Amino acid sequence: MYSCDSPRNRLKIRLGDLPLSLGTVGVLVRYWIKGRFTRATIASLVVGEAFSVIFVLFGSSTYLSFSNKVGLTTGLSEVAGSLILALYIVGLIQSGFNGSGLPVSSSDVDYVFTSPVPPGDVFAAKVLLNSLTTVLFGFPPILVLYLRFSSYYHTGALVAFLAGAVTLMFFVIGLLLSADITLSLGRGIGERRKPLRNFFIILVLVISLLPITLLISEVPGAVAEAARILPNGLAATISVGLVSGTPGTINYLTDLVLLVAWLVGFLVLGIRLSRGHFYEVLEVSVPGVEKFDKPDQTSRLNPRGRSLWSVVRAKERILISRTREARALFINAMFLSGFLVIYALSGSFQSSPTSFLFILFIIGSFGSGTASRWIEKERLWILKSSPVSMRRYVKEVFRARIAPLLFYLTPVTVAVGVPLVLSQLGQPSLLLGVVLALPGALEIAAITMAGGMYFASRYGQSSNDDILSSQAQELADIRRFLFQTVINLIIVSPVIVLVLVSQSLATSVGSGNLPELAGGLVLASVVFTGFSINLLLNRAGDAVRRREDL
């Protein structure tokens, strides 16, 4: 007998014409918390939390001192905040389209989905738990971030607290959006509706990319306004405005009301979408349960006459093309190309060539995140019981999975860089920086992606991740991402330093020896990059070979 009908659980609310049983939602949330937060998990999360706080302190202080040094007196801007939050939203949209908008584990499938609990209650419980954990674990580093900025602007701790709360509300909106997108992915929608679905995907992406257009100074006012009323625009306006002491109480209240409207809107939409049976669209992180629209395919591997490593690369490409990963990569490519084109149009590179390095570092970190999601998990027995070299295998996976992104970035870098080189011909001291920044940017992206592979090999792949599945997994991923970003930053720092000191070098050497100096430095940075990538991938291969928890 279904016990959720007890008097205790009869408290029901109506949201979006759907009655929700709060008792059932509470039972589910309690069960998930008990089941997933073991002492070890909590300990690792606390360590991660401490690390995040240190990282945030380090990052924000570095950012502020860098801003002062290069003369950016603003320190923090609403546009920058909006862009950073847009990155988060794009990541969540991608996750939503992958079917991971509502993270589920196999035990959910086996026990919760087979229970008579209404899907709407399951949705509500999932969203509640995800929001709770996001707020709980997201608040300390965000508060520290805003406290650091509020001390810079002398605006006080209360303001930092309010700004943090608004940013967290935005995070919850992002989670709801991601969940809604996943719920909207009805399987078997038919060929005729697929173009509509694809149009919807593109529309959502375009809208999410809108804030990036704010980098263009001549952007029409209507676009800027439209970008401002998106959740990330509103959250950035309120949080950054509050922390930096921008006056305008009424405006903040209006923006806050709009932000709450987004939250309620996505929540109601999600609850309405969850009325039907949505379980089959969720991605469960268990090998062997992927769903494919077409069970029969033409074999494309064709190993005859090909080398072993060419077959390994072909295998990776086939796997990517047949799974939802292809869609995720497409979204990445769309986002990155849009970002770079708009960045080039904005003229930011012309005013500060070194900023290109940081932009590419962000992109590299994005790629690094993609690399760090490389997962073979239980399938590694096939390789580990074979005579293949794991070092070489990891390198080939890097070539097949990650290198295309670099090839994709190369023409964009050339397109951005050539006009700039031509414009700087009259200023040899600046030209050296540009000449170093362009290949340097690609080198940074390549190294960070190799770093992503190393972290995937060293810390990913493990079935331990399944223990942390669902909301805790998301948090673990974020911490791993932050950790690898710091390590990557250290590894690429010689390339960045080279560009930063180029102007002084050029002045001291003199314009006569500039070509030789430029050639030598580019060669040195290329050699360093090659060495770093080789080292990271060798370490990655060794890490997989040595691991015993796979």
312 belongs to the binding site for other proteins (CB under 8 A)? yes
Query: Reduced to 3 states, what is the DSSP secondary structure of residue 12?
Result: strand
Residue selected from 30, 196, 379, 520 as contacting other proteins according to rule CB under 8 A: 379
188 belongs to the binding site for other proteins (CB under 8 A)? no
From 193, 255, 202, 195, select the one nearest 230 (Cα to Cα).
255
467 belongs to the binding site for other proteins (CB under 8 A)? no
Query: Reduced to 3 states, what is the DSSP secondary structure of residue 104?
Result: strand
Query: Residue 393 or residue 454: which is nearer to other proteins going by CB?
Result: 393
Residue 524 token pair: 């040195």
Residue selected from 39, 277, 304, 411 as contacting other proteins according to rule CB under 8 A: 304
Q: How far is the CB of 297 from other proteins (least distance, A)?
A: 5
391 belongs to the binding site for other proteins (CB under 8 A)? no
Is residue 472 within 8 A of residue 104, CB to CB? The reply is no
Residue selected from 189, 308, 497, 523 as contacting other proteins according to rule CB under 8 A: 308
298 belongs to the binding site for other proteins (CB under 8 A)? yes
292 belongs to the binding site for other proteins (CB under 8 A)? yes
Say which residues have a Cβ less than 8 Å from residue 453's Cβ, sequence separation at least 6.
371, 372, 374, 394, 397, 398, 402, 536, 537, 540
315 belongs to the binding site for other proteins (CB under 8 A)? yes
Q: Measured between alpha carbons, how far is 515 from 314 in angstroms, rounded to an integer?
A: 41
487 belongs to the binding site for other proteins (CB under 8 A)? no
Question: How far is CA 123 from each of CA 105, 257, 473, rounded to the nearest angstrom?
Answer: 14, 25, 18
Region from 127-135, 273-281, 313-321, 429-437 binding other proteins, contact rule CB under 8 A: 313-321
323 belongs to the binding site for other proteins (CB under 8 A)? yes
Q: How far is the CB of 1 from other proteins (least distance, A)?
A: 31
Residue selected from 15, 226, 264, 311 as contacting other proteins according to rule CB under 8 A: 311
Residue selected from 272, 327, 384, 391 as contacting other proteins according to rule CB under 8 A: 384
Region from 24-32, 266-274, 306-314, 480-488 binding other proteins, contact rule CB under 8 A: 306-314
* 13: DSSP letter: E
Region from 47-55, 191-199, 310-318, 488-496 binding other proteins, contact rule CB under 8 A: 310-318
Query: What contacts 24+ positions apart, CB below 8 Å, involve 503-507?
Result: 503/429, 503/430, 503/432, 503/433, 505/432, 506/428, 506/429, 506/431, 506/432, 506/433, 507/429
Region from 133-141, 253-261, 375-383, 478-486 binding other proteins, contact rule CB under 8 A: 375-383
From 93, 356, 75, select the one nearest 240 (Cα to Cα).
75
Burial of 22 (0-12, 13-18, 19+ CB in 10 A): middle
Q: Measured between alpha carbons, how far is 369 from 448 in angstroms, rounded to an integer?
A: 9
Q: How far is the CB of 285 from other proteins (least distance, A)?
A: 13
Residues at the contact surface with other proteins, assessed by CB under 8 A: 287-292, 294-305, 308, 311-312, 315, 318-319, 322-323, 377-379, 381-389, 546, 548
